[in-house]
Amino acid sequence: MGSVKKVAVLDYGSGNLRSAERALARVGADVTVTADPQVALDADGLVVPGVGAFAACMAGLRAVDGPRIIGRRLAGGRPVLGICVGMQILFERGVEHGHDADGCGEWPGVVEQLKAPVLPHMGWNTVEAPEGSVLFDGLAGQRFYFVHSYGVRDFPLAHPAGPPSPLAPPMVTWAEHGDRFVAGVENGPLSAAQFHPEKSGDAGAQLLTNWLDTLD
């Protein structure tokens, strides 16, 4: 393990920042919770958390110039990790209570209500990670902690079977609650998890460690 990695947790009024901060610190990161665009741009890794409604998160994100910060980091190949609604806002749009809201548009896809007999999907669930996943390395069969009623049920860019190409599409991890939904994405410098690694015990700590290990 090289030098300590500097990680910024983007504070855009979405709450749940301290548990993310603590979990990252526990696995050895030097963590700053910040709304300062320069600090967010300069960090080795940027974590975008999120709880609550998609549209409210997007409004908060725009208020701190979040979409531009995320876009600039990705353009420079600099890692970003979205968590829960922080994953959802990376997609094109969200539909909640019949209202459409634009997301960051890093990936095509719609965040919509899960088709499940019980919502929210709350508690521990297994995931189905693709072969070659870095985030889920060493985590086969582990359970992660979810709290959500919305998700991405169709990912048009998902990685096909077979060996990855140089321009590999995103690697997608799926989970099931009523039907299948996206539980994680790995796409070059952009990674995301629908569940809460910071509330997922040892498995979540291992996933955060795996992500820290990808930071330069």
- Active-site positions? 84, 196, 198
- Cα dist from 145 to 5, 13, 37, 45, 49, whole Å: 25, 22, 30, 23, 15
- Could you give the 3-state DSSP secondary structure of residue 32? strand
Whether 7 and 31 have beta carbons less than 8 Å apart is answered as yes
CA atoms of 38 and 7, how far apart (whole Å): 13
Which residues does 166 contact at the CB level (< 8 Å), separation at least 6?
none
- Is-cis flag, bond preceding 163, omega within 30? no
